[in-house]
Amino acid sequence: MNSMAVPFSFARTSLIAGNTFLEAVRQRLFLFLVLLAVALVAGARFFHEFDFGPDGGVPELKFLFDFGLGALIFFGSTLTITATAQLFFSEIENRTALTLLAKPVWRAEFVFGKFLGAWAVVGVFCALLTGLLAVLLWFRTGAILAANPGAFLHGGRIGLGDIAIVCGLQWLKFGVLAMMTLLVSSFSGTNLFSVVMGFFVLVICHLQAFAHQAYTRVEASSVALGLMIETLARVFPDFQFFNLADKVGTEAGLDAGLALRVAAYALAYILVFGFLAVFSFRRREI
């Protein structure tokens, strides 16, 4: 062995990510959330007591889609925050990080490896639920068309591509959430603190757009409050950008350009929070 420079390595990062993924899928929480979410999505088909009206096909599909997406968002957010914090702290608390970081490994490789591993777990979860939702909607579309061939003459049909795009954007949103949880974990002393802060951040990211709108409508608001809301709007990403579900099933359909812009927005936040996490973790005592 010589003392040549050790550059940042994507191979090492992916090794750490692979190991993190393997560790995560062995945890019962992952299996439990997957089963629960699958049961909810599949169960949505059996809500017969809802009255979808005389031309029930379009509202029923929309209901199934919204219900499935809701399950994906709720359980996906829970899984993202808990899995990311847990996978990070299991390395610290079990002291496997000590052995790993005593190797020629950059801390940036460790942070991004943990992130990619956790994000891959959430990706598998999203893919499973998206696939299930797509199959469910495809079957119902066929059944509705068989009963009423003109059911979708005025639109309302939900395309598989649209489902994939909407769920894919949610996965990107979970990526931003995972990186923010990792940023908190990089300086946090306990797993619990990271999880609580992760949910806190999630709420801020979902509500900050409403707070911003409300402030701009009310003229008499205080300067301090305005400054705080402006700061929140700059620092925290706006998770409302990722909600393109309303466009699904409409005549206009999803705007692919908008979806790409939202994806770029997510990746930019992932990178910025990633660099902050590396900076924070750089001098952490292991």
Interacting residues toward other proteins by CB under 8 A: 1-6, 9, 11-12, 15-16, 19, 22-23, 26, 94-96, 98-106, 283, 285-286
Q: How far is the CB of 16 from other proteins (least distance, A)?
A: 8
Exposure string of 245-280, with b = 16+ CB inside 10 Å and e = fewer, is bebbbeeeebeeeebeebbebbeebbeebbebbbeb
Find, among 200, 141, 185, the residue nearest to 280 by Cα.
185
**Toward other proteins, which CB reaches closer, 99 or 216?**
99
Q: How far is the CB of 214 from other proteins (least distance, A)?
A: 37
Q: How far is the CB of 120 from other proteins (least distance, A)?
A: 17
**Toward other proteins, which CB reaches closer, 52 or 279?**
279
161: Cα within 13 Å, side-chain hemisphere: 5
Q: For the chain, give the longest Cα–Cα distance.
A: 77
**Toward other proteins, which CB reaches closer, 12 or 157?**
12
Find, among 99, 75, 270, the residue nearest to 183 by Cα.
270
Find, among 79, 59, 66, 58, the residue nearest to 40 by Cα.
66
**Toward other proteins, which CB reaches closer, 5 or 146?**
5
Whole-number Å distance between alpha carbons of 272 and 97: 24
Q: How far is the CB of 279 from other proteins (least distance, A)?
A: 14
Q: How far is the CB of 8 from other proteins (least distance, A)?
A: 9
**Toward other proteins, which CB reaches closer, 8 or 50?**
8
C-beta of residue 179 within 8 angstroms of C-beta of residue 278: no
The position carrying tokens 């709420």 is: 203
**Toward other proteins, which CB reaches closer, 20 or 185?**
20
Q: How far is the CB of 25 from other proteins (least distance, A)?
A: 10
Residue 284 DSSP label: -
Q: How far is the CB of 105 from other proteins (least distance, A)?
A: 6
Find, among 49, 71, 70, the residue nearest to 60 by Cα.
49
The answer for residues whose C-beta is within 8 angstroms of residue 270's C-beta and 6 or more apart is: 115, 175, 176, 179
**Toward other proteins, which CB reaches closer, 78 or 280?**
280
